[in-house]
Every structure is written in structure tokens, then in C-alpha cells.
Amino acid sequence: MNIKEILTGQEQDKLFLLGNEAAVRGALESGVSVATTYPGTPSSEIGNVLSVLAQDAGMYFEFSINEKVALEVAAAAAASGLRSFTFMKHVGVNVASDSLMSVAYTSVQGGMVILTADDPSMFSSQNEQDNRHYARLANIPLLEASSPQEVKDLMKYAYELSEEFQLPVILRTTTRVSHMRGVVELGPLAESKNKGHFEKDPHRFVPVPVTARIMHKNLVDKMDKIGVLSNNSSLNPIYNNNGNIGIVTSGSAFNYVMDVVEENDLPVNILKVTFSYPFPEKRVYEFLENVERVLVVEEVDPIMEKEIMAVVGKHQLKKTVHGKLDGTLPMIYEYNPDIIIQGLGKMMGVEIAAIKAAKTSFELPKRPPTLCPGCPHRAAYFEVKKAAENLKLNDLIFPTDIGCYTLGIESPYEVADYLLSMGSSIGTSCGFSKATDQTVVSFIGDSTFFHAGIPPLINAVHNKNKFVLVILDNRTTAMTGGQPHPGLPVDGMGLEAPELSIPDIVRASGVEFVEIINPLNVHKSSEIFEKALQFDKVAVVISQYPCMLIKTREEKGKNIILDVQDDKCTKCNTCIMELACPAIYTRDDGKIRIDPLMCRRCNVCVQTCPEKAIRAKRIDKAGEEG
Amino acid sequence: MHPYQIYISGVGGQGIIKTSVIMGEAAMKKNLPVVVGEIHGMSQRGGEVSTQMKIGTSHSPLIEESNADLILAFEPLEALRGVNMVNKDTHVVMNTAPIYPFNISQSEHSYPDSSTILNELQSHAKKVITMDADEMAKKAGHILSMNMVMLGGAVAVTGFPLDKESIIKSMYDNLPERSIPINLKAFEEGFKFCMENL
């Protein structure tokens, strides 16, 4: 499939789409005019696809500087009568939350959908927070999708709901839905409005105490009405209808339940909750009437489980509720069919499937992700540690941040000591430099610096901190797949855009020590790090070299290989132990080799080999050596 | 229809997702229900990657343990890591070219040797077909066509629910035009090898 088919596909066509791609089609079928995001897995592909399609679709799309701004751009568009779509990973909603709380009060004019992509089991996140709580916190409606088709269909429904009640709607996916690929039948595209018009109404749009009190009352009244809808919604259907056991489930967990129940022909009743906030209490009450015991299957927190216990308590029903709280199912992490089999078996007192899975007779080595061959971060890490060693500094703290460079946690780099969230490297460096006498060197990426690094840097200067900040500027948002940011001359739709200079921003923030290095120049960079470490205020070193994943695409002739000269190599293993580059390996006979296909010829090993045993060598064709 | 369940495993960057998209679209065009579960993000930086796929009626792409009909392993260690998906009727098609974890020299557990990997898999599966798909891809014209060697191997397996022609058509729909000749050659090599060694 060509990605453009998500736009050009006709009604009733079938496409094989990721949940994230289906969200884009849903936006196109809803006539969305403005879409915004800050990239974050598992939501990243939504933005990647929109950045390709937005222009042809006649809509506006941007990679915003962070999620708060993304939500604000979308809120203003919706206040102006346009349909807007903002989407982010679960922790992105934390960043956006300040404005999210108010947009429920101010209400919207055009429909507004906020997609949160939660990450149970933390495939690529720092936590597995359950964003269904946000619907409760902000008091706005929540829909939960279980398949790509549903993602698309719920997008359309969410816009209708949003416009009918003039409230934003949250659509929650999880990694297994965002990255599930399935057959999606398309609906008709909708025309999107080019421009809206903002009708002034301060009583509606400016929440100050006197207006906010009224707004909150209106919000509660609206949510009462929407509660009637969720109780009667066809989005909360009942399946099966036999036996005295009930299962209430939502999202991905619904899929696992259905597979296990159908495969084993189990006599149970299933209530699928898609329109999950306002919680459909009445629906649940009716469902409970026909069962004696109910198992609640949800990811991640026991939210519905407690809601159902409340229904049981309120009506003094003699029903048992099983789930996370009584240990029938695990409290944390994502579910899968095997977990459901065990939980249901425990509850029913039977063994549902008796097959014992095969196991290896020995432990397997793990395969942790690592920095790519030629990654400029590897060089920067080496140089910082070398500089500290030269200055005999041995008590260092390395606050780190969110991006590929968090992989610096692995041996042998070990340059990731503390991490909270986007931008926390700088804020926590302020704290460490006040709280201890240890040397603080923190790392942040270029995109993360723009996202949340600027206010804490200003804080650091104003409050007279001393630490070294390394801005790892690899000219892209690498971890999430290479999206642009304000430091690049291109915007989210691929159009030319003003390129903001990181060094200028750093200088304007009052930093007196600002140096730019090319990290692949090992000795010079180490010297600059030494100077930075001796500076008695905030020192910023900007390590500038493009991500190798971009560089590779641009690469032309590949007629150079890096070659280990066996007569010089003493097998000291410095290259293997200190650089841990995936391209450098030890052969069975103990000789060290560099894989010419993996090697990106960054020359860092050439410069750091104590025996000068590695050299660059010209060959006719790469891949013939080794 | 009871779903045909495929577990594809390997290392980030080997073209696993593309392979599953080609299979899945071919299934869709034959009006077969199909779902795929992919892994994106952090695990792609040289970490282990697996894709799970069900062709036939199913809600979730996640395969219950011991329930895979086919393991398509792009790397030997990753084949072994999927052994919990194997049962006595499972076919395993495995690329024998190893990719060592970057920290293997400091790892508590060593990389198992090839005969150990083969023995372990053979003791649990119906049939294990091994081929040096890296080498076959290079012969076809480019190492990056390794995933198409593996795809060819999968199509040859008894019970695989899609025919060769529909897979080839799906390759045309999903691969850059200029890469088609090499990829087709790689696909045919994998197909032929597996047919002869089933």
C-alpha cells in the first residue's frame, strides 16, 4: 500500500491499516481542518502520515513544540468553529494537562478530539499511566478503541459527540491498538473548512473565578446528559448471553477475552465498554442482573472495577466482582490471551488450556536496544567521560532526558543517572548542583530542548547554578522516527520554515559558556568538555552532528572501510569495552573485526584506539572485505 | 475458519514489518480476515523485534503460547526466543546468519552455538528449515532482500494459507519499483530452497 491511499481511498475500499493510520483516515472522514502533535510513540505514525497527506488533504498540520502548545493550537481552532485533532502519547497529556483542564470549561465550537496513546507494559515510555483518569479529572467524555476499524469509526463519532455537546472528546488507544494492523473499510471523505471565525464571548472563553464557576456547573450538566447517552449507547454492546458469569472489558483486553472465549467455547456474558466515560452505570446494572459473578478485564488501572463495585454497593447487589483488586488478574502491565486464560480459569475453578509452553533448557542472552553504529551520541559520551577522567573528577551525576540518548543508561556508557520526564535533565541538574558538591553533567536532545528545556535553562542561569549541559543536537527527533523541530528549516508539512538557532537561544538565556563541537572530532571535543567542566557557572556544549539514520540516506560513495590491522592490534579490547559499537566484534579466533555493512565510518574507533591499529582503507566495493 | 498463526521474529531493521504487511495485504485481497501486531519504537535500535499475525477469524493478533503454526525467524537467537510459541505441529523457517547482541562479550549468558539452537527447536517443533538467508539475499543482489528470502520460505511451508501469486502481487504493491527484480529473485530463492528441504 502506498501511504497516500489513506487519502485517495474511496468509500467501501479496504485498506490494511495500523491503528494510527486508521486515526488519520478517521480525521479525513470527519473533515478535520487543524491537526497538531508532538511526536511520541505509540502515537508517532499518526503525525508521520499527516505530514505527508496534510497539504493534499487541504488541512493544516504541525509538529508543535510540545503537547501543551499542540493542545492550545487545536483548542483555538475548535473555538473558531473548525474541527481540530490533537494527539499524543500518554505522558504527553501530562504536558498538555494544564490547558486540558480549562478547555473542558470553556467548551468548543467546532469538534475537538484529543487522542491519547497509552503504553501498557512500557514498550517505549517512562511509565504506564492510565489516561482514562484524565477523562475523570477534566470531566470530559472518553471513548476506547480495540481495533483499527474502531479507531476510524470512533473518530467520526467523537466529532459528532463533541459538536453536539460542545466539549472536547478523548479517544484512548493503547500500544497494541496503535500498532495493530487490520482491515479497515473506508467511509466517505468529508470536506474540511479552510478558515473559521472566532465569535467573541468572554463569559464562555475566559475562565476567571466569576465565569469559571458558571462554566463548571454547565460542564457537570452536560456530562449528566452525556451519561444518558453512554448508558444507551450501541458502543457498549453485550455479547453471548449465557451462564452466570459476566465479563466487563474494554480496549485491547476485549480482543483477548473474545479470542479466549470463542476458542474455548466458554459460557459467559460479555459487556464491551467503548463509551467508557461517563461510566455507563445503568448499563452495567442491567448486565449484572443476569450474572452472579463478574470479571473486569481492563488495562492498566482497576478503574472500571471500582466503578462496578460502586454500582454493586449503591444497589446492595449480591454479586462478586473479580479483577485486579482480588488478584484474579495482574495489577500492572498489558494483558494477553494467556493471562486471560489463567484469570478466567482461576475464577471458574477450571484449567482452560492445559498446554505447557516449550522452554529452552538454558538461559538466553538478552538483546537490549543500543545506539546505532556511528551514532554521534556515543562519541559525545566517550569524550565527556574522558574529559572528567583527565581532570580526575570521579564523582559525577548524569541527569539525562527523553530520546535515543537515554540508551546511555547501558554499560559501558553509564551516563544516565536520573530521569523524570521531558526536559527534566536541566531542572534536576539545578537541584543536584544545589543539593550536592558532586559534578553534574546533563544530556538533552535538540527536540527535547525545544520541548521543555528552555525554561529550566533560564532558571539555572538566574539561580546561579553550576553544571555542564550537553545538548545533543542530531538535527532531528530521532527516537520517534525523525520528525522535524523548530531548529530545522522545514515544518510538519514539509514546507520551508524559519530555522531557530540553539546556540542563540542558549546565549539569550544568559549562558556565558557556549561551545559547539563536532563530536566525531574526539580530541578537540574532549578538550572543550574539560574547559566546560572547569567553568564555575552553567556551561553549555552543543554537540552537533546529524543522526546517522538521516546521514545514511544522504550517503553517496561507500568505498571506504575501517580496517583492524592485526599486526598492530594487541587485543586490548578498548574499542569493544569503551565504545560498544555494534559494528565492532570479536571473531571466534579472538581477532577484532569491523562489519563493513554496519559501519558508518564515523572514525571514532580510529581516533580512540590506543594502538592506532584501526585505519580507514579505500576499497573497490563495500562488503567484499571482512 | 481457525486462524493460521504466524510468529515473525528477528532484530530491529531486518524488514520484519514490511514482510508482515505484504502477507497481510495479500490475505486481505483474498477476503480473508487478518490482524497483525507490530512492535515500533525503542526496540528498533538493534533490539529484538517480533510481529504476530493471524490469518482467519480472530480479534487479537497476539498468539497464545504454543499456538504458532509458523515461526519465521530472521535470526537464530530470536528463533529460539520464540520457542514458547512452538508446538509439535509448528514449522520453523530460520535464517542461520547470527547477529550478536552488542554487549554479548559482557553478557552473563553466551550466544548459543548453531547446533544447540537447532536441537532445541527440533525437539519441540514439527520441522525446522534452516537457510543462510543473508547469503542468499546477497546472491540475489542485495543484503536488504533477506526478508524476501524468508517470505519465499514461508510461502513454501505446507499449510501456509496464501498462494505464491497473491504474495508476489502484494510485493509489487508494497516494494519500491526499482527493487522489485532483486526482491523477486530473493523471494524465489527462498521459496525454492524451502520446497526442496521441506
* Interchain contact B69–A (C-beta under 8 A): no
Residues of A in contact with B40 (CB under 8 A): 41-42, 44-45, 123-124, 179
Q: Are residues A466 and A610 in the same domain?
A: no
Tell me, yes or no, whether A360 lies in a domain. no
**pLDDT tens digits, one per residue of A109-140:** 999 999 999 999 999 999 999 999 999 999 99
Query: For residue A199, which amino acid is it?
Result: E
The range of the structural domain enclosing residue A201 comes to 5-232
Measured CA to CA, the distance from residue A285 to residue A492 in angstroms comes to 47
Reported as type and span, the H/E element at residue A245 is strand A245-249
DSSP secondary structure, A191-223, as one string: ---S-------HHHH---HHHHHHHHHHHHHHH
Going from N- to C-terminal start, the domains of chain B cover: 4-197
CATH number at residue A539: 3.40.50.970
Q: What are phi and psi of A418, to 5 degrees?
A: -155, 130
Q: Are A189 and A28 in contact (CB under 8 A)?
A: yes
Number of A:B CB contacts under 8 A?
173
Tell me, yes or no, whether A358 lies in a domain. no
- Separation in Å, CA B5 to CA B26, B52, B123, B128: 15, 8, 20, 16
Which residue, among A54, A367, A127, A107, has the nearest Cα to A217 in the 3D structure? Answer: A107
CB atoms within 10 A of CB A552: 14
**pLDDT tens digits, one per residue of B78-87:** 999 999 999 9
pLDDT for residue A597 is more than 90: no
- Window 84-113 of B: residues touching A by CB (8 A cutoff) are 84-87, 100-112
How confident is the model over B36-47, as a mean pLDDT? 79
Reported as type and span, the H/E element at residue B72 is strand B70-73
Matching residue, cell 543482489: B141
Q: What is the DSSP letter of A575?
A: I
**pLDDT tens digits, one per residue of B178-197:** 999 999 999 999 999 999 99
* Interchain contact A1–B (C-beta under 8 A): yes
Which residue, among A6, A112, A81, has the nearest Cα to A51 in the 3D structure? Answer: A6
CB atoms within 10 A of CB A589: 5
Tell me, yes or no, whether A171 lies in a domain. yes
Verify whether the Cβ–Cβ distance A16 to B28 is below 8 Å: yes
Q: Are residues A528 and A613 in the same domain?
A: no
Verify whether the Cβ–Cβ distance A364 to B103 is below 8 Å: no
Q: What are phi and psi of A445, to 5 degrees?
A: -85, 170
Q: Are A622 and A578 in contact (CB under 8 A)?
A: no
Residue B162 Cα, gap to closest chain A Cα (Å)? 16
* Interchain contact A243–B (C-beta under 8 A): no
Q: Are residues A575 and A524 in the same domain?
A: no
Residue A368 Cα, gap to closest chain B Cα (Å)? 5
Tell me, yes or no, whether A371 lies in a domain. no
Tell me, yes or no, whether A624 lies in a domain. no
Q: Per this entry, what is the length of chain B?
A: 198
Residues of B in contact with A42 (CB under 8 A): 40-41
Q: Which residue has the higher pLDDT, B40 or B97?
A: B97
Which residue, among A329, A274, A263, A277, has the nearest Cα to A300 in the 3D structure? Answer: A329
Measured CA to CA, the distance from residue B198 to residue B195 in angstroms comes to 6
Mean predicted lDDT score pLDDT of chain A = 95
Q: Are residues A88 and A138 in the same domain?
A: yes
- Separation in Å, CA A39 to CA A49, A288, A544, A550: 12, 41, 21, 17
Strand partners for B34: B55
Tell me, yes or no, whether A334 lies in a domain. yes
Cell of A40: 511520541
Q: Are residues A19 and A113 in the same domain?
A: yes
Q: Are A486 and A65 in contact (CB under 8 A)?
A: yes
CATH number at residue A313: 3.40.50.920
- Separation in Å, CA A182 to CA A58, A186, B46, B56, B70: 27, 12, 26, 12, 19
Last residue of a domain, one of A330, A348, A366: A348
Lowest mean pLDDT among A344-358, A498-512, B156-170: A344-358
Residue A86, pLDDT score: 98
Supply the ipTM of this predicted assembly. 0.96
Last residue of a domain, one of A552, A578, A598: A552
Q: Are residues A45 and A98 in the same domain?
A: yes
DSSP secondary structure, A446-505, as one string: HHHIIIIIHHHHHHHHHTT---EEEEEE-SSBTTTT-B--TTSSB-TTS-B-PPPPHHHH
Could you tell me where the DSSP H helices lie in B57-176?
Answer: 76-81, 114-124, 133-140, 146-156, 164-174
**CA-based radius of gyration for chain B:** 16
Residue A524, pLDDT score: 98
Residue A625, pLDDT score: 36
Residues of B in contact with A571 (CB under 8 A): none
pLDDT for residue B106 is more than 80: no
* Interchain contact B198–A (C-beta under 8 A): no
**pLDDT tens digits, one per residue of A481-492:** 899 999 999 999
Verify whether the Cβ–Cβ distance A362 to B109 is below 8 Å: yes
Residue A554, pLDDT score: 58
Nearest Cβ partner for A337 among B20, B60, B100: B60
Q: Which residue has the higher pLDDT, B79 or A368?
A: B79
Residue A590, pLDDT score: 86
Last residue of a domain, one of A206, A232, A258: A232
Domain total in chain A: 4
Verify whether the Cβ–Cβ distance A181 to B103 is below 8 Å: no
Which range is most confident: A233-247, A376-390, A542-556, B32-46?
Answer: A376-390
Does the domain spanning B4-197 belong to CATH 3.40.50.300?
no
Q: Are residues A398 and A417 in the same domain?
A: yes
Residue B42, pLDDT score: 64
How confident is the model over A140-165, as a mean pLDDT? 98
Q: Are residues A471 and A578 in the same domain?
A: no
Residue B39, pLDDT score: 84
CATH number at residue A585: 3.30.70.20
Tell me, yes or no, whether A363 lies in a domain. no
Measured CA to CA, the distance from residue A598 to residue A616 in angstroms comes to 15
Q: Are residues A178 and A259 in the same domain?
A: no
pLDDT for residue B47 is more than 90: no
